[in-house]
């Protein structure tokens, strides 16, 4: 299996304020490995190329190639169910393991393994989505779905956190404590949140931009934008109010992931995951697909000639959020901190909130 690459993040700091962030990605583009392959070979290779979100990548490849060949997508419900379960597994990994570890809290490994296994069975068409949904509310939140729905502003959220119910209350409380200490020099520059697009809209907006530069550093109206659960849920009352109190978006992104997890559980119960995998024909023997993953919007574009891959592009959420002028750069630039250890900790918090799908290294460079 080829290397999935690395994100090298260089924080430029003058001892008091973060002056900038340099982002360098060594993540390989799929076209280098898939070009010239038979379409059937490419479809087998795609899930092997990605160690993270392999189900979503495979679904995107199937949808894009089918659209290129004018073939109606088969077994789309099964694909969407697999994508939904994989995204939920990714959310749980961050919520139960990565965030507690970073914040110095106990890891919930046993619970993670249990729910990961349950989702694996549901992805195959078995298990009980209803039981899982009930457990998520009872164990993660310590309250019912109806009570959680009533938490629609920051005050109610902090009241729930203070009660310490469920596994996530201490995590959110600890992150809230960290976030209250964030201070910025000047006005915080925000990256626009990605609108909720259909494949028809994506095609109209970007059909002339499907090239290697766009795949490496995607932009909308010549600017990077932020994708992910926060972008997907940006219009909810709770997230809008949290953002008004914490505009740096760190806690809002975690809450959005939690909300997306719970919404996905409900969708599995209702067997309604129909918008997760979408595709469109671009032109004769060219197609594109869009898959909603745990980290945001995943795009695949393919052009086929004589049953071989002539062109293949992927645009993953990491390319949007870790653009050289993107959400991470804007989020950290201007941060006021006079301690290198605290700066490194805060940088890790921001990086995890955006959750790259490749390994990352953070370096502090003195200005």
Yes or no: say if 166 and 148 are a contact pair by the CB < 8 Å rule.
no
- The three state secondary structure string of 50-117 is CCCCHHHHHHHHHHHHHHHHCCCCCCHHHHHHHHHHHHHHHHHHHHHHHHHHHHCCCCCHHHHHHHHH
Domains for the chain: give ranges and CATH numbers: 6-366 (1.10.645.10)
Helix pair 250-270, 340-354: axis angle to 10 deg:
30
Q: What is the pLDDT along the chain (367 residues), one digit of tens a residue?
A: 455 678 999 999 999 999 999 999 887 777 778 999 999 999 999 888 887 788 999 999 999 999 999 998 877 889 999 999 999 999 999 999 999 999 999 999 999 999 999 999 999 999 999 999 999 999 999 999 999 999 999 999 999 999 988 999 999 999 999 999 999 998 888 899 999 999 999 999 988 888 888 999 999 999 999 999 999 999 999 999 999 999 999 999 999 999 999 999 999 999 988 789 999 998 889 999 999 999 999 999 999 999 999 999 999 999 999 999 999 999 999 999 999 999 999 999 999 999 998 899 999 998 7
- What integer pLDDT is reported at residue 1 of this predicted model? 45
- What integer pLDDT is reported at residue 4 of this predicted model? 67
Q: Residue 75 corresponds to which tokens in the numbers above?
A: 């077994």
- What integer pLDDT is reported at residue 335 of this predicted model? 96
User: What are the φ/ψ torsions at residue 19 (nearest 5 degrees)?
Assistant: -85, -20
Taking 3-state DSSP, the helix, strand and coil percentages for the chain, each rounded to the nearest 5, stand at: 50, 20, 30
Beta pairing partners, 360: 7
In sequence order, what DSSP letters do the residues of 234-287 get, joined into one string?
Answer: TTSHHHHHHHHH-TT-HHHHHHHHHHHHHHHHHHHHHT--TTSEEEEEEETTEE
Alpha-carbon gap, residue 268 to 270, rounded angstroms? 5
User: 268 exposed, middle or buried (CB, 10 Å; 0-12, 13-18, 19+)?
Assistant: buried
Alpha-carbon gap, residue 324 to 319, rounded angstroms? 9
CA distances from 30 to 21, 27, 47, 79, 352 (A): 26, 9, 11, 21, 25
Buried b (16+ CB within 10 A) or exposed e, 334-364: bbebeeeeebeebbebbbbbbbbbbebebee
Torsion of CA 191, 197, 201, 203, to 10 degrees: 80
């Amino acid at each position: 299996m080829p290397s999935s690459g690395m994100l090298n993040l260089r924080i430029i700091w003058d001892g008091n304020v973060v002056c900038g962030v340099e982002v360098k990605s060594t993540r390989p583009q799929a076209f280098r490995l898939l070009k010239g392959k038979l379409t059937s070979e490419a479809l087998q290779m795609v899930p092997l190329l990605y160690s993270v979100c392999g189900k979503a990548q495979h679904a995107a490849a199937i949808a894009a190639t089918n659209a290129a060949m004018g073939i109606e997508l088969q077994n789309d419900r099964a694909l969407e169910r697999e994508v939904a379960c994989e995204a939920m597994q990714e959310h749980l990994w961050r919520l139960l393991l990565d965030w507690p570890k970073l914040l110095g809290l106990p890891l919930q490994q046993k619970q993670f393994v249990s729910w990961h296994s349950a989702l694996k069975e549901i992805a195959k068409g078995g298990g009980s989505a209803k039981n899982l949904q009930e457990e998520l509310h009872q164990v993660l939140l310590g309250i019912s779905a109806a009570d959680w729905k009533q938490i629609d502003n920051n005050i109610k959220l902090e009241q729930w956190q203070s009660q310490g119910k469920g596994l996530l209350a201490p995590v959110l409380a600890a992150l809230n404590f960290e976030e209250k200490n964030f201070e910025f020099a000047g006005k915080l520059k925000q990256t626009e949140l990605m609108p909720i697009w259909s494949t028809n809209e994506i095609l109209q907006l970007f059909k002339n931009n499907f090239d290697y530069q766009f795949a490496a550093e995607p932009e909308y109206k010549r600017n990077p934008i932020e994708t992910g659960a926060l972008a997907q849920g940006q219009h909810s009352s709770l997230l809008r109010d949290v953002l008004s109190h914490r505009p740096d978006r760190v806690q809002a992104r975690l809450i959005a992931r939690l909300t997306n997890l719970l919404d996905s559980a409900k969708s599995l119960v209702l067997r309604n995951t129909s918008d997760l995998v979408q595709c469109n024909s671009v032109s004769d023997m060219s197609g594109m697909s869009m898959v909603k993953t745990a980290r945001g919007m995943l795009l695949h574009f393919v052009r086929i000639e004589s049953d071989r891959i002539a062109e293949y592009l992927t645009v993953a959420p990491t390319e949007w959020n870790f653009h050289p002028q993107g959400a991470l750069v804007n989020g950290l630039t201007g941060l006021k901190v006079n301690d290198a250890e605290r700066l490194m900790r805060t940088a890790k918090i921001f990086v995890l909130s955006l959750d790259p799908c490749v390994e990352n290294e953070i370096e502090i460079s003195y200005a």
